[in-house]
Structure 1
Amino acid sequence: MSSNLTWHQTTIKKEDYRKKNAHSSGVIWLTGLSGSGKSTIANIVNQKLYEKSLQSYVLDGDNVRHGLNNDLGFNDSDRQENIRRVGEVAKLFADSGTIVLASFISPFQSDRDQIRQSLDEGEFIEVFVSCPLGECEDRDPKGIYKKVRNGVIPSFTGIDSPYEEPSNSEIVVYTNQESEEESADRIIQLLKDKRWI
């Protein structure tokens, strides 16, 4: 980073946005294997927040790679840079008073921890969307696992590239045992318990 850069202080602060919105803000980070249900759950939670007239937004892995991160591949270093950039964007959203739902495989614990540490205390909720690999592969909503097994996609998380399960997430939802709606309701309840909403 250049030593000639200075952070520009704005007149309207995070607390002002929160007061205007009448709720807290922060990052809800959904992590799990491809096909575990992260994006579906994030969208359900977002819909429920929208219906309550709360300010929220979904950052989705595939969507971000269409634009902001379309220059990145899928090797370990590119995956880490993908998550670093998304973490910075999510932090800006949180600063604007928005509840951010970030849905990313984000396979490395250190990357998720780095985002947590970049935010103020209590502004990061890690949601482990737990689902056995076999179940994710059976679902295969995007046909990705089939391509991996046919050798079309190399270095895929959970198959031949590691996924580090969260060791201390705020909540674990088990999408092979509960519906996505039930998982979303549990996340909403956690937001109430933490007084975000």
Structure 2
Amino acid sequence: MILIQFTGLSGSGKTTLAENVSILLTENGYQVKIVDGDVYRKTICKDLGFSKEDRCENVRRLFNVSQDFIKSKVIVLMSVINPYQELRNEIGKYKFVRTVYLDCSLNNLIKRDPKGLYKKALLPDNDINKIRKFTGISDVYEKPDNADLILKTDFETVSVSTQKLYHFILNNLSELQ
């Protein structure tokens, strides 16, 4: 089986692509599980903040959950920002892991802003509604230097990115068997 380790800034399309490719894979007889950082932040990671240590622990917990699904022969789509190259390398050392980078410019993400998070992150420092330690604005995001697949989500349609991801997964599944 395979674990797709998504990485990309908030709003770059991680959840959307995970959901879309999950439907395609399921329709073709594969078992798929989406391990979404936003969902798990409300459960097994609800005790974590947004320090570097907590962000790393968050990703490690998601990876541990993902490994249980891999053992059950399920394709895992781990949808989380995962901002640190060192941590992506740590997870990427497993032969069943592939890293997919959703590359979208900050300007486009600020325009899209589906959750209104960039608007809050860009508020003046004295505003009580300001989001502090927001990845890509006031906290670090290290672009991956060794992604297995790069999807340019500010230029490609969702459909094109979904198809590229789907074929990437199928090709890598056959290589891993």
* Identical pairs, percent: 38
Instruction: Name segments (4+ residues, structure 1) moved above 6 Å.
Output: none
- Counterparts in 2 of 1:1-197, with a 5 A limit? 25-117=1-93, 119=94, 121=95, 123-150=96-123, 151=125, 152-194=130-172, 195=174
Give the structure with higher Rg (CA). Answer: 1
Q: Structure 1: which 5+ runs fail to align?
A: 1-24
Secondary structure, counterpart of 1:90 in structure 2:
helix
Deviation of the 1:32 alpha carbon: 0.3
Alpha-carbon RMSD across the aligned residues, in angstroms, is 1.3
Deviation of the 1:65 alpha carbon: 0.4
Deviations 1:100-145 (A, max 9, x none): 001111100111111122x3x2x11100000001101111111111
Query: 1: CA distance between counterparts of 2:25 and 2:132?
Result: 37
Asked whether the 8 Å contact 1:109–1:165 carries over to 2, the reply is yes
Q: Structure 2: which 5+ runs fail to align?
A: none
Secondary structure, counterpart of 1:33 in structure 2:
coil
Deviation of the 1:161 alpha carbon: 0.8
Query: 1: CA distance between counterparts of 2:59 and 2:170?
Result: 27
Asked whether the 8 Å contact 1:26–1:91 carries over to 2, the reply is no
Deviations 1:148-181 (A, max 9, x none): 1124210111011111111111100001111112
Query: 2: CA distance between counterparts of 1:53 and 1:158?
Result: 37
Query: 2: CA distance between counterparts of 1:79 and 1:191?
Result: 26
Secondary structure, counterpart of 2:38 in structure 1:
helix
Deviation of the 1:193 alpha carbon: 2.0
> What TM-score, normalized to structure 1?
0.83
> What TM-score, normalized to structure 2?
0.92
